[in-house]
Structure 1
Amino acid sequence: MAKLVVIYDQPKDQEGFENYYFNVHIPLAEKLPNITGAEVHRVLQKQNTSDNQYLLAELHFENSAILAQSLATPEGREVTADVANMMQFLNKPPVVLIVD
């Protein structure tokens, strides 16, 4: 399995971020082809960092090749481009990791 992991720091506009993220961005991500699962977690506690992580999202795919193919589709490009729309609510871009 491969995962796309996205880590968001505390937003500058929490209410705006939550509204946009859950009502616009997540529905776009749900349209990604070949996604096998997804999870969103709120960060409750952290250690060994001065960063202020707020939310962590995981998108699951069968393998890294399928993940890459999915992101190359029109739906993948749309959800990736949508991150720019969320920047009005964030202090900095989210960290994006691809893991297996």
Structure 2
Amino acid sequence: MSFRVAVCYGKPEDPSAFDDYYTSTHVPLAKAVPGLTDFTWGKVGSLDGSDPPFYAVANLYFADEASLQAGLASPEMRAAGKDVRNFATGGATMFMQEEARQ
């Protein structure tokens, strides 16, 4: 099993500014979190053509719960968390998930 932190970003006021800041500044901060085994992100679309509830979703993966907890408590995670206010004008929703492969 692995653990994932998902960050769901609401639609920003200026999508182009969000994209530029996110890729050039925020992604390097997030990828510096200790214990991270993988990092992905992407823009969201809906299956039925309606407006999706989020603009983008990022996923931070950790091998186990101990790595997740250490990563969450790290100065690097605090720095990434504080940085969210600099670009996420549409807000951000975060959750943690224990993932099992079947």
TMscore range, shorter length: 0.7 to 0.9
Matches within 5 A, 1:31-46: 31-45=32-46
**TM-score (norm: length of structure 1):** 0.85
- Using the size of structure 2 for normalisation, the TM-score is 0.84
Q: Does 1:60 align with 2:61?
A: yes
SS in 1 for 2:36: coil
Structure 1: gaps (5+ residues): none
Deviating beyond 4 angstroms after TM superposition, the runs of 4 or more aligned structure 1 residues are none
Report deviation, 1:50: 7.2
| RMSD (CA atoms) | 1.8
Residue in 1 that maps onto 2:93: 95
Q: Give the C-alpha shift of residue 41 in structure 1.
A: 2.1
Aligned residues with identical type, % of pairs:
29
Gaps of 5+ in 2: none
Aligned length: 96
Structure 1 stretch displaced more, 50-59 or 1-10 = 50-59
Amino acid of the structure 2 residue aligned with 1:34: G
